[in-house]
Amino acid sequence: MQTYDEWFARADEQKRRMAVGTRRYSTAQEILGHEPTWIDFVDPDTGGLLTLAELQAETWGERQTRAMKVQALIRERGQAKRDVGRLGFLPS
């Protein structure tokens, strides 16, 4: 079973655009200067997607801080997924 960030990394551009919205995708691409990843769209506080306005207003430093938080969440959830697969439950 893939996580959403793994799926996003493997999907073609059309599917990635459908997943996050074309305007949001294009905006992130323009701001970043490269193809965006799933992390570039996620709000670590809600787990939802950033709005277009949030993407546009975010400074470079804010973007870096948010990306680190999202990466940490992805690692934690990946470990939880492995634990459930290995143990059948989440250890406390």
Domain segments of the chain as ranges: 4-84
Q: Which residues pair with 42 in a beta bridge?
A: 49
Read off the tokens for 32: 């970043």
Read off the tokens for 75: 């690692």
Q: Which residue has the higher pLDDT, 88 or 50?
A: 50
pLDDT at 84 > cutoff 90: no
CA–CA gap between residue 44 and residue 89 (Å, rounded):
24
The pTM is what? 0.83
Handedness of CA 5, 84, 66, 22 (dihedral sign): positive
Write the pLDDT tens digit of every residue in 15-43.
999 999 999 999 999 999 999 999 999 99
CA–CA gap between residue 65 and residue 79 (Å, rounded):
21
